[in-house]
Structure 1
Amino acid sequence: MVQRNGNAADNDCRFEEKRLTIYLRKQKLLRFAFVVCFCVGCAACAGAAPVRYAIIPENPFPGEAVTIGIDADNSDGVKSAVLYDSDGQRLSKSDFFVLEADKGEKRLAAAVLTVPSTAEPGFAVIKMEGGADNTAEIPLVIRERAFASEEIPLDDTLTEIRTAPDPQKTAEAEQLWAILNRHGNEIYALGNFSPPVSSTRRTGHFGDRRIFRYSNGKSDTAIHAGVDYGVPTGTPVTSCAPGKVVLARFRIVTGHTVIIEHLPGMYSLYYHLDKIETSEGALTVAGDLIGLSGSTGLSTGPHLHWEIRVSGENTDPDALISRPILDKDAILAKIGK
């Protein structure tokens, strides 16, 4: 880790730099707020009928999944929700899918997208795309979040796994991304997710900024995409929510691996298993045994790596434990029954 210099002059310089950064950020947010308000005002003056929407949560943290719900029968042809930062840079995107309606209820369409863990705090906007010109733009504020940093030394074997060119490793990576970016039509899970192990001991957290120290003296950086549970080899690992197993096999980097589809574009991943106890195509419910924890692949010791992906974006699993991913009652209450 980099050690801070205690020199008073250096501290003064850092203080001034921090003040300048805060000032510039405030000016940037004010300019963006003006643009959002101006655009919304123009739509209202033109007599446009905006799409009614619900967004949960309204002010997310980096790494948090955001659910957008709209009236499926009055969606103005909207196909996708796209998150942009205050500079107009696209951060993430997800397609809408239609939920079954109970008798007498509105048909809802929903999209789930994730604020990237690298997103800067401040104003942002979700644009409904694929419809008419008068579709909604949803302003929101991305809250500030701090992530931990850590260094991980790798021995010769693990250094080779991470750095050595390998056609098989490349093919496995391409297969993985093809799955994670696939947006199907099946809806298996609507409620809260459950932790995949009973232990609460964590050895790695979502969004950790990691430095890998290779045995050859070189290094590389990465962002930890999931949660690591420090559990002994052979610990039962269960499905976090209802879904369909779309991958259950050994991979060079992640060892014995299981991937479960829960919603269109949403997947849970379980890495470094000692043994797989399910098969591709199997349907699961929360709590079903899918494997035993281990230390296979690129692993420095026995643990379970649990990860959530939404339209390919790594997503904080804790956010899905604390609230249902698709709360129909909350969405209907906001857009009107």
Structure 2
Amino acid sequence: MRFVSFFLFFATALFALNIEIADSNVTNGRTALLEFKKEKNIEYRSVLFDDKSYKIFKNPLDDERFYVLLPISYYEKPSDKKVEIFYVEDDKERSKSLFFRVESADYEKETLSVDSSKVTLSKEDQKRASKEYAEAMALYKTTTKQSYISSEFIVPMDSKITSEFGKARVYNGSLKSYHGGTDFRANDGTPLIACNNGKVVLAKDRFYSGGSVVIDHGHGIYSCYFHMSKLDVKEGSMVKKGETIGLSGSTGRVTGPHLHFGIRVAAQQVDPLQFVELINKNLLKGTK
């Protein structure tokens, strides 16, 4: 995997803003983090990135700091990206711009053999899959103003990774998608735990992902747990970090039992392990 460091070009002086950019590795499918220190007479508003507005939030554990997460699309080509920061200073609306470069992660391909009914869909299955996709995207596009996070993220199980994020997936000889999460080896019935505090917003069986749980952590951050054989939580329930949410399985479109673990930021699929490392190392550092 190939990375490149951020380079910054300030369109105008940023001395009024104290900005830190975390993680020098920016590639497609990863998350960038901008942090702002509290400054007198400055109110942070939002960031415009790729024609999309992202709200600047207060750090859930530090009232003196603010942050914004910028998910880089998997389909992003190598390019120089502009970030425009909007804020109010002494009751006047202002903006500043900076640039950084996104490079290609050069994801590999993997070939999988699955039941043909999961690749070439009947009209009924296609209708079901489309409905479930729309339902999930409506959730991911919802940004909860409150953050439920009170400490570092953890991974949902301790096991060997069998498939990393971003691999282009060839199902039964046909390129269909890319891998939007990280797969962990897990025999049927292995307990799975929540990666952080949050609210369960989806808990049901779905066509592609089988037994599925999605947790809202607030501020547009969602964690996803797919192919489960048993769900121990219900939609609307609150969960704590480390709490068992169900058991692993082989439901949905799979080649065998495992856990698919994913993270969504502002509705965008991102590398979940890079996200966890980025957030823990910077935003939530020192909070076990």
Bin of the TM-score, shorter chain as denominator length: 0.7 to 0.9
Deviation at 1:259, TM superposition (A): 0.3
Query: Aligned residue for 2:236?
Result: 281
Query: Aligned residue for 1:4?
Result: none
How do residues 95-244 of structure 1 correspond to structure 2 at under 5 angstroms?
95-99=55-59, 106=64, 108-129=65-86, 134-161=94-121, 166-189=126-149, 191-200=151-160, 202-213=161-172, 219-244=174-199
Once residues 284 and 113 of structure 2 are traced to their aligned partners in structure 1, the CA distance between those partners, rounded to angstroms, is 48
Q: Counterpart of 1:136 in 2: which secondary structure? A: strand
Judging changes above 3 Å, is the alpha-carbon distance between structure 1 residues 110 and 241 closer, same or farther for their aligned structure 2 residues? same
Deviation at 1:290, TM superposition (A): 0.4
Q: Is the 8 A contact 1:80 1:94 kept in 2?
A: yes
Q: Which amino acid aligns with 1:197?
A: M
Identity between Structure 1 and Structure 2 (%)? 25
Q: Relative to total residues, which structure has the larger strand share, 1 or 2?
A: 2
Once residues 28 and 122 of structure 2 are traced to their aligned partners in structure 1, the CA distance between those partners, rounded to angstroms, is 27
Once residues 227 and 157 of structure 2 are traced to their aligned partners in structure 1, the CA distance between those partners, rounded to angstroms, is 14
Q: Is the 8 A contact 1:196 1:237 kept in 2?
A: yes
Q: Which amino acid aligns with 1:79?
A: R
Q: Is the 8 A contact 2:17 2:39 kept in 1?
A: no
Q: Deviations over 1:176-230 (max 9, x none)?
A: 0000111111212254321211212x2221000112227xxxx343111001112
Judging changes above 3 Å, is the alpha-carbon distance between structure 1 residues 208 and 238 closer, same or farther for their aligned structure 2 residues? same
Judging changes above 3 Å, is the alpha-carbon distance between structure 1 residues 240 and 120 closer, same or farther for their aligned structure 2 residues? same
> Which aligned runs of 4 or more in structure 1 are off by greater than 4 angstroms?
71-78, 129-133, 160-165
Range 263-272 or range 67-76, more displaced: 67-76
Q: Is the 8 A contact 1:190 1:325 kept in 2?
A: no
- Which runs of no fewer than 5 residues in structure 1 stay unpaired? 1-32, 85-89, 331-337
Judging changes above 3 Å, is the alpha-carbon distance between structure 1 residues 124 and 190 closer, same or farther for their aligned structure 2 residues? farther
Deviation at 1:302, TM superposition (A): 0.9
Deviation at 1:315, TM superposition (A): 1.1
Residue 316, structure 1, aligned to residue 271, structure 2: yes
Judging changes above 3 Å, is the alpha-carbon distance between structure 1 residues 309 and 114 closer, same or farther for their aligned structure 2 residues? same
Q: Deviations over 1:41-91 (max 9, x none)?
A: xx34xxx8643322212442332222222246668554322334xxxxx5x
Judging changes above 3 Å, is the alpha-carbon distance between structure 1 residues 77 and 323 closer, same or farther for their aligned structure 2 residues? closer
Q: Which amino acid aligns with 2:33?
A: T
Q: Is the 8 A contact 1:50 1:136 kept in 2?
A: no
Q: Which amino acid aligns with 1:128?
A: I
Q: Counterpart of 2:158 in 1: which secondary structure? A: coil
Query: Aligned residue for 2:4?
Result: none
Deviation at 1:251, TM superposition (A): 1.4
Deviation at 1:293, TM superposition (A): 0.6
Residue 249, structure 1, aligned to residue 204, structure 2: yes
Query: Aligned residue for 1:6?
Result: none
How do residues 84-95 of structure 1 correspond to structure 2 at under 5 angstroms?
84=50, 90=51, 93-95=53-55
- Which runs of no fewer than 5 residues in structure 2 stay unpaired? 1-6
Once residues 149 and 61 of structure 2 are traced to their aligned partners in structure 1, the CA distance between those partners, rounded to angstroms, is 15
Judging changes above 3 Å, is the alpha-carbon distance between structure 1 residues 75 and 54 closer, same or farther for their aligned structure 2 residues? farther
Once residues 307 and 97 of structure 1 are traced to their aligned partners in structure 2, the CA distance between those partners, rounded to angstroms, is 22
Residue 292, structure 1, aligned to residue 247, structure 2: yes
Name the TM-score, length of structure 2 as normaliser.
0.82
Once residues 255 and 183 of structure 1 are traced to their aligned partners in structure 2, the CA distance between those partners, rounded to angstroms, is 25
Deviation at 1:114, TM superposition (A): 1.3
Judging changes above 3 Å, is the alpha-carbon distance between structure 1 residues 213 and 328 closer, same or farther for their aligned structure 2 residues? closer
Range 306-315 or range 160-169, more displaced: 160-169
Greater Rg, structure 1 or structure 2? Answer: 1
Range 157-166 or range 137-146, more displaced: 157-166
Name which of 21, 31, 35 aligns with 1:55. 21
Once residues 250 and 266 of structure 1 are traced to their aligned partners in structure 2, the CA distance between those partners, rounded to angstroms, is 22
Name which of 28, 31, 34 aligns with 1:68. 34
Judging changes above 3 Å, is the alpha-carbon distance between structure 1 residues 163 and 231 closer, same or farther for their aligned structure 2 residues? farther
Query: Aligned residue for 1:24?
Result: none
Judging changes above 3 Å, is the alpha-carbon distance between structure 1 residues 251 and 60 closer, same or farther for their aligned structure 2 residues? same
What is the aligned-residue RMSD (CA, Å)?
A: 3.0
Q: Is the 8 A contact 1:80 1:96 kept in 2?
A: yes
